[in-house]
Amino acid sequence: MATSVRFPLATSVRFALAVVTAVTCSPLGVSLQAQQAGFADDLAPDREQLFTDLANDVEALNRELGIYKRVARLVSPSVVHVESTPLPQYRFRRDVEEAGSGVLVQYRSKDYVLTNRHVIKHSQEDLIWLELNDGRQLQPTRIWSDVETDIAVMSVEAKNLLPARIGNSDEAEIGDIVLAFGSPFNLRRSVTRGIISAKGRSNLDLGDGEVVYQKFLQTDAAINPGNSGGPLANLCGEVIGLNTAIASNSGGNEGIGFSIPVNVAVRIMRQLIEQGRVDRGFLGVTLDGSFDSASARYVGLNQLQGARVKDITANSPAALSSLLVDDIILKFDSLEIEDDQHLINLVKRTEIGRKVELVIFRNRQMKTEYVQIGRLEDFVGKIDNH
């Protein structure tokens, strides 16, 4: 094993030295070896043409790749560095974050900073400082937050703020190029690039387990501690997500980061600002916790998937639709249902009044049904139903 490790390293070093020797140039732009061989006059014209061709190709490529610089110039002024001094009771805990990121947004002509709750949850308004891209510092005048989605909103007052342009995260597709902005390891004004690796990630074990409503965008754009709350932008310069978490064995970037879709974040923000709380969606079905692999095979499914309806609440959205007891809900709003809890989380996070497409399995056949999501608070007495 020692030989297999050393062999490619030794080979690489020798190769690198050979390349350096070959391309070391004299002031005339011709390699020393070529001069010594008497080939300078023959190689110089070809070499200059190669440099010219290369410059032309780079110029053409820059016209395409220069879009990254344009996105960075448009989004960066809206990125905020967040410093939050923990309250005394939290200051010696290793799991407490003291720095993160945020993004300036505007709602009804007022300015706010959108970020993750976990960035500021151990602090309070007078202990939080926001540093703008131009170096100005200010403090929030009011803070709202939602535990279960890890969203926080801070109202701010200052002149000449540049709010970000908000995109549509529902339109993001796997493979889309994205840029992540923020302050990784306290390094302000950092930008990384990657793609959308997956959509609808859920059932992630995040911190103390408070974030229960999950529907993350997954990206391989480098996300590290300090990026939390910063924007994930598409190539149109639109924010489509809030960078929130990483899957890592080392504590740093390993190419698996997660962002809250901006459609979710903005919906939560609006409710927090307007009413100081977040309404949860309600479907009106009781799910069968005993539905297992054997049950799935018995009804005709090849594998355990979805959630089976055990009961339907009277006058609920499910009752007003065509859902029936024993239906197996396989998809909710195009997302495949992993288990009961996954469906519950999706329903509660869905906008009130939205009509959602369900793919169900009934009598060994696939069917499509539509249901208009209700408000959980209207059925608060039926707490076991979803």
Instruction: Give the active site residues.
Output: 118, 150, 228
What three-state secondary structure class fits 107? Answer: strand
CA–CA gap between residue 92 and residue 77 (Å, rounded): 33
CA–CA gap between residue 371 and residue 103 (Å, rounded): 34
Residue 189 structure tokens? 């004004």
Closest CA to 287 of 295, 276, 277: 295
Torsion of CA 66, 224, 92, 208, to 10 degrees: 130
DSSP string, 245-298: EE--SSSS--S-EEEEEHHHHHHHHHHHHHHSS---EE--EEE-TT--HHHHHH
3-state class percentages of the chain: helix first, strand second, coil last, to nearest 5: 30, 30, 40
Q: Which whole-number Å values give the CA distances from 63 to 49, 179, 203, 236, 237, in the listed order?
A: 21, 18, 41, 15, 17
Q: Is 196 left (phi over 0), alpha (psi -120 to 50) or beta?
A: beta
CA–CA gap between residue 247 and residue 257 (Å, rounded): 6
Closest CA to 263 of 228, 217, 227, 225: 217
Closest CA to 125 of 146, 145, 97, 150: 145
